[in-house]
Structure 1
Amino acid sequence: MSDASPDLEDDTGTYKSGLPGILGTIDEWIAKTEAVMLAVGVILMAVNTCVNVIGRFVFGSGLFFSGEVNRILIILITFAGIGYAARHGRHIRMSAFYDVLPTMGRKVLMIIIALFTSAVMFFLCYHSYGYIETLYGRGRILPALSLPIWIIYVWVPIGFAVTGIQYLLTAVKNFTSKDVYLSTGVVDGYADTESEV
């Protein structure tokens, strides 16, 4: 097994995709976009909440749109975050059975898990798109911001699709490499490196 660091990063600490060619470039671009979205989303949510609390307690009136803005940001952070977590191998996993398997068993199990999770993500992507169509047909809007409600849910199918693609690529990476990968750029941290010289 590889004794490299779990995340593939360059000397600056920037994410480096484990995919070759144009796929790797696209993966790195998506990773940077997700990182910016997550950072900006969390900062905006914190600022929005703090300003609203200060407004309530100092001026006796908070921001009338604060709750809706936080709702939008929570959806954005959640569904941009699932792809980010999949890319960096950070999803919660139950690994007691997985840990006792030999390397080939872990590789086979990781391929099965990645393919199954990818299928579930694409299934949820399909149904979330249907949900957005339903919301669009109803024509409801947010009371304070006057935005159509369907717009704030656009990130849901995008997040599921990106995550599904990431897990599918993880399965492919495990098919084509000798190491066990938790994602395209993260080598299994439970690898047995003691037998290496």
Structure 2
Amino acid sequence: MTSAATAPAALDGSRIDGGLYTTVTDFARHTHWLNQPMVWWTSYGAVLFVLLLIAAWWRARRADAAAMAGALSAFAAAAIAFLLNSGIKDLVAEPRPCRALPHDFLLEACPVPSDYAFPSNHTTVAFAAAVALLLIDRRLGAFAIVAAVLMGASRVYVGAHYPHDVLASALVGALVAIPTVLTGRRALTPAVELLRTGALRPLLSAG
């Protein structure tokens, strides 16, 4: 079996912005007070996006059917973004920076070679959820965008990804979220209106 480091399609991310990656990880090396908060956020921050999506759904129960359709589509956007991003990772097969730059400071253990870097799943899902939320609830969305930026920054800070990995992830997340929510809101509204009169009413309407 061909290794990730020698796969013909592999992208050497260190040639793109390895220097900037090293600058960020050196910053992490010298900011010990920030290490644990960033490790915690990069590991568990995804929970916040789930809670924000749930909050959007809960608020949509008191709004019209289109709002609920949008809230449901936001969940779909995050799931679709993850699946698409996973496919891109396997196609590009960019080795993690910990393999190209093994002497840089790492806060996150180097994963197995088949766990590729480009793009970042954490960041893609965070931005997909954040952009979807921005389309359906500006207040929740604005907060989520800030949290998504912090998620992307944390992935570089802990040494898991190059900067270009997280920038591409933000783009993938946004490009999935926008059409998914806009199309889903339009396509699902009639179904939500119908289902609000049946057994699913408690999930789709506040009363």
Same fold (TM over 0.5): no
Give the structure-2-normalised TM-score. 0.31
Q: Report the structure, 1 or 2, having the larger helix content.
A: 2
Give the structure-1-normalised TM-score. 0.32
